[in-house]
């Protein structure tokens, strides 16, 4: 069997799903981030001045874009795969000769496409407020892609383990959002007291946000090679966990 | 060749419950096969394992000679499953549900569209192709699941209580449709609680109870084992006392209704002769229970007694 056909089917189904509900998936980030740029960037940012040599507006744009990529990559996979479990149409895939890696790749691709599409929409909105000359396209695009894959995988694991709709909102609300806000989206870790600086270095999102910021405006609080290593290793680890769970049928088979 | 061959299949759930106790089962190619059993007997677990929805504890499943573990892709390609409960995305259109399933089986887009159209037309659903599935009636939803299961032209189709909860008209049309599929060469395994359905459609039968296959034979020889028929007689005049007729066990249900157990070796003629001689006129008669139902209950009762 040509596995590209089921892979394409899952990806296309995922795209149709989030485009069909665009007022829930694509519109809110455009409005929310426009407000971020207006309030934090324009109104408060003008009083802050510069951070690491960049205007505050330019400083927060990369973080806001990546924060949107993270939350939407995660949200797409966790809600879609959990709904598939909840409505039991996961059985359509389990009955068919679809390899586990194709199921994983299909859902992750859906999450990555939505995450990057939302990131693109937020980047377009940012053009209304900021003027950024991209420092390094390769770094910006590669870290955005890797981050999107990583959080789509995390969303997949959440969906597999979730037993109720409450379970799919706990991690985004109580883990992902705090880590994103504390991940240097709106500030440089150098602004924090020593203890908080040390604690922030344990937050993986800090590395991704700063690497993306480096790609866009050439400013970073972290070592770029280390950031790629953390993101890459975490991605490989989560792919392995997802495949083991699918193989064992955790959460989807009796 | 066997369409399905199961050997020593066991399933012990995490809570320690042993749902299947090492069952063996063979279904011939082209057969219309009934898999019956009371609730909780192990039918759904067995179907779940065959459909790859439940992990077995041990044993093997072969579908048209392909081992479900070792030759997973080939085995699954031969199989279509219509589950008991609705399990498609209720927000998708009818066409999308069937078309996507074709994609999961690796059918190229053009061919998938053709197959989708054929299956939806066979199920009389083509006019509803763009309808969101949650807006369909219960009977239509079941037909969507059959169309979805047939889109990759499986050689073996498992129908898990396909007519549960549908009205008699739809049930009859589904029987006709199943019969047509079988006539066209598809091997069918049917589970149902309507034993009349199994008796009229299926050629071979297995009865599963408490995780064991307690009966596995052809329908004709199984029904031949029933020695007694149970009839209900409606009388023209009320009776004061229950008639006593040698060879028959008679019970008076109401003043104008009798239940009679009729041994096959004696038959009905002698009963009517005796009733006539007693000036009892019978207006009508009917089988109290379906024949298969009676056998089914006998088998299940004997298994329970054995265990108790």
Q: What digits encode the pLDDT tens for the residues B49-75?
A: 999 999 999 999 999 999 999 999 999
With contact defined as beta carbons under 8 Å apart, do A37 and A65 qualify?
Answer: no
Instruction: Please check whether residues B197 and B114 belong to one and the same domain.
Output: yes
> Is residue A21 assigned to a domain?
yes
* Mean pLDDT for the stretch of residues B234-250: 89
Domain that holds residue A187: 4-45+52-248
> Is residue B304 assigned to a domain?
no
> Is residue A189 assigned to a domain?
yes
User: CB neighbours (10 Å) of residue B128?
Assistant: 20
Structure confidence at residue B289 (pLDDT) = 62
How many domains, in total, are found in chain A? 1
Q: Predicted confidence band at B246 (pLDDT cuts at 50, 70, 90)?
A: confident
Structure confidence at residue B60 (pLDDT) = 96
Say whether pLDDT at B267 is over 90: no
Residue of B nearest to A91 (CA): B53
Instruction: Please check whether residues B104 and B16 belong to one and the same domain.
Output: yes
Instruction: Please check whether residues B117 and B253 belong to one and the same domain.
Output: no
Tell me the HSE value of A56 on the side-chain side, using a 13 A CA sphere.
16
Rounded distance between C-alpha atoms, residue B252 and residue B250, angstroms? 7
**B295 vs A175: which has the higher pLDDT:** A175
Entry pTM: 0.86
Residue of B nearest to A21 (CA): B91
Instruction: Please check whether residues B46 and B101 belong to one and the same domain.
Output: yes
Instruction: Please check whether residues B127 and B247 belong to one and the same domain.
Output: no
What is the CATH number for B75? Answer: 3.40.50.300
> Is residue B145 assigned to a domain?
yes
Structural tokens at position B272: 């009517």
Of B87, B100, B101, the CB nearest to A88: B87
User: What parts of chain A have a pLDDT lower than 50?
Assistant: none
Nearest Cα neighbor of A21 from A88, A76, A81, A82 is A76
Residue B88, classed as helix, strand or coil, is coil
Structure confidence at residue B264 (pLDDT) = 78
B100/A92 touch (CB, cutoff 8 Å), yes or no: yes
Identify the H or E element spanning B214. Answer: strand B212-218
Terminal Cα-to-Cα distance of chain B (whole angstroms): 39
Instruction: Please check whether residues B208 and B93 belong to one and the same domain.
Output: yes
Q: Predicted confidence band at B305 (pLDDT cuts at 50, 70, 90)?
A: low
Structural tokens at position B60: 């093997």
Furthest CA-CA distance within chain A: 61
> Is residue A254 assigned to a domain?
no
For an interface test with A, give the residue of B76, B100, B132 to mutate (most A CBs within 10 A): B100
> Is residue A69 assigned to a domain?
yes
A interface with B, Cβ–Cβ < 8 A, is 1-3, 5-6, 8-10, 13, 16, 20, 83-84, 87-89, 91-98, 248-249, 253-254
Pairing of strands B32-36, B204-209: parallel
Rounded distance between C-alpha atoms, residue A11 and residue A5, angstroms? 10
With contact defined as beta carbons under 8 Å apart, do B189 and B27 qualify?
Answer: yes
Instruction: Please check whether residues B264 and B164 belong to one and the same domain.
Output: no
**From the CA of A249, how many Å to the nearest CA of chain B?**
8
B55/A253 touch (CB, cutoff 8 Å), yes or no: yes
Packing angle, helices A100-126 and A4-20, rounded to 10: 40
Of A3, A97, A254, the CB nearest to B76: A97
Tell me: the pLDDT tens digits for B93-127? 999 999 999 999 999 999 999 999 999 998 889 99
> Is residue A236 assigned to a domain?
yes
> Is residue B301 assigned to a domain?
no
Structure confidence at residue B171 (pLDDT) = 82
Helical spans, DSSP H, in B151-289 = 168-183, 195-201, 219-224, 269-277
What is the CATH number for B272? Answer: 3.30.70.1560
> Is residue B223 assigned to a domain?
no
Q: Predicted confidence band at B262 (pLDDT cuts at 50, 70, 90)?
A: confident
> Is residue A231 assigned to a domain?
yes
Determine which of A111-115, B160-164, B187-191 has the lowest per-residue pLDDT on average.
B160-164
Sheet with B204-209, strands from edge to edge, namely B79-82, B156-160, B187-191, B32-36, B204-209, B212-218
Structure confidence at residue B306 (pLDDT) = 53
Q: Is the dihedral of CA B35, B38, B42, B44 positive or negative?
A: positive
ipTM, two decimals, is: 0.90
Rounded distance between C-alpha atoms, residue A72 and residue A111, angstroms? 7
> Is residue B305 assigned to a domain?
no
With contact defined as beta carbons under 8 Å apart, do B37 and B45 qualify?
Answer: no
> Is residue B213 assigned to a domain?
yes
Domain that holds residue B182: 2-218
Nearest Cα neighbor of B200 from B217, B223, B184, B216 is B223
Instruction: Please check whether residues B48 and B178 belong to one and the same domain.
Output: yes
Residue after which a domain boundary falls, among B196, B218, B240: B218
> Is residue A253 assigned to a domain?
no
How many domains, in total, are found in chain B? 2
Structure confidence at residue B307 (pLDDT) = 46
With contact defined as beta carbons under 8 Å apart, do A157 and A241 qualify?
Answer: yes
Structure confidence at residue B308 (pLDDT) = 45
Rounded distance between C-alpha atoms, residue A102 and residue A79, angstroms? 19
Q: What are phi and psi of A203, to 5 degrees?
A: -90, 110
Structural tokens at position B128: 């509803």
- Burial label for B12, CB within 10 Å (0-12, 13-18, 19+), is middle
> Is residue B21 assigned to a domain?
yes
> Is residue B307 assigned to a domain?
no
Instruction: Please check whether residues B102 and B34 belong to one and the same domain.
Output: yes
Rounded distance between C-alpha atoms, residue B259 and residue B246, angstroms? 15
Rounded distance between C-alpha atoms, residue A48 and residue A143, angstroms? 28
Instruction: Please check whether residues B149 and B274 belong to one and the same domain.
Output: no
Angle, vertex CA B249, rays to CA B247 and CA B251, nearest 5: 150
Instruction: Please check whether residues B192 and B284 belong to one and the same domain.
Output: no
* Mean pLDDT for the stretch of residues B225-232: 78
Structural tokens at position B89: 């995305």
Residues contacting residue B293 through CB under 8 Å, at least 6 positions apart: B195, B196
With contact defined as beta carbons under 8 Å apart, do A187 and A44 qualify?
Answer: no
Instruction: Please check whether residues B36 and B15 belong to one and the same domain.
Output: yes
């Amino acid at each position: 069997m040509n596995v590209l056909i089921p892979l394409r089917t899952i990806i296309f189904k995922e795209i149709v799903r989030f485009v069909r509900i665009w007022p829930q998936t694509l519109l809110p980030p455009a409005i929310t981030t426009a407000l971020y740029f207006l309030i934090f960037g324009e109104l408060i940012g003008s009083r802050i001045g510069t951070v690491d040599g960049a205007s505050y507006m330019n400083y927060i744009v990369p973080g806001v874009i990546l924060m949107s990529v993270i939350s939407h990559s995660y949200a797409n996979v966790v809600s879609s795969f959990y709904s598939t479990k909840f409505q039991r149409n996961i059985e359509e895939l389990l009955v068919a000769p679809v390899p586990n890696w194709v199921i994983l790749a299909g859902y992750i691709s859906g999450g990555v496409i939505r995450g990057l599409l939302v990131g693109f929409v937020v980047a377009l909105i940012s053009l209304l407020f900021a003027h950024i000359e991209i420092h390094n396209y390769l770094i910006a695009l590669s870290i955005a892609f890797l981050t999107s894959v990583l959080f789509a995988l995390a969303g997949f694991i959440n969906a597999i383990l979730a037993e109720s709709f409450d379970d799919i909102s706990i991690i985004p609300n109580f883990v992902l959002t705090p880590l994103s806000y504390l991940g240097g989206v709106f500030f440089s870790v150098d602004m924090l007291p020593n203890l908080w600086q040390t604690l922030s270095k344990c937050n993986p999102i800090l590395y991704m946000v700063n690497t993306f910021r480096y790609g866009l405006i050439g400013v970073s609080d972290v070592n770029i090679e280390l950031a790629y290593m953390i993101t890459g290793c975490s991605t490989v680890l989560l792919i392995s966990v997802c495949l083991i769970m699918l193989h064992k049928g955790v959460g989807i088979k009796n | 060749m066997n369409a399905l061959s199961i050997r020593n299949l066991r399933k012990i759930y995490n809570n320690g419950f042993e749902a299947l106790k090492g069952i063996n089962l063979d279904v011939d190619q082209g057969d219309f096969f009934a898999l019956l059993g009371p609730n909780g007997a192990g039918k759904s677990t067995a179907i779940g394992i065959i459909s790859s929805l439940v992990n077995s504890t041990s044993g093997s499943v072969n579908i048209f000679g392909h081992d479900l573990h070792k030759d997973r892709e080939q085995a699954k390609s031969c199989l279509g499953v219509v589950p008991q409960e609705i399990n498609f995305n209720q927000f998708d259109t009818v066409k999308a549900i069937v078309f996507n399933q074709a994609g999961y089986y690796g059918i190229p887009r053009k061919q998938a569209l053709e197959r989708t159209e054929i299956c939806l037309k066979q199920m009389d659903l083509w006019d509803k192709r763009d309808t969101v599935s949650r807006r369909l009636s219960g009977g239509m939803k079941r037909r969507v699941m059959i169309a979805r299961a047939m889109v990759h032209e499986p050689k073996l189709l498992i129908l898990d209580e396909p007519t549960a909860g549908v009205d008699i008209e739809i049930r009859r049309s589904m029987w006709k449709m199943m019969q047509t599929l079988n006539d066209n060469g598809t091997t069918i395994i049917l589970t149902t609680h309507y034993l009349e359905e199994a008796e009229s459609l299926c050629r071979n039968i297995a009865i599963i109870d408490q995780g064991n296959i307690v009966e596995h034979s052809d329908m004709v020889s199984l029904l031949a084992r029933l020695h007694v028929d149970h009839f209900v007689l409606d009388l023209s005049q009320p009776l004061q006392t229950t008639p006593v007729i040698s060879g028959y066990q008679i019970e008076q249900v109401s003043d104008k209704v009798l239940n009679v157990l009729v041994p096959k070796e004696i038959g009905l003629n002698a009963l009517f002769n005796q009733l006539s001689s007693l000036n009892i006129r019978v207006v009508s008669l009917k089988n109290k229970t379906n024949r298969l139902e009676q056998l089914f209950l006998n088998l299940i009762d004997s298994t329970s007694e054995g265990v108790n």
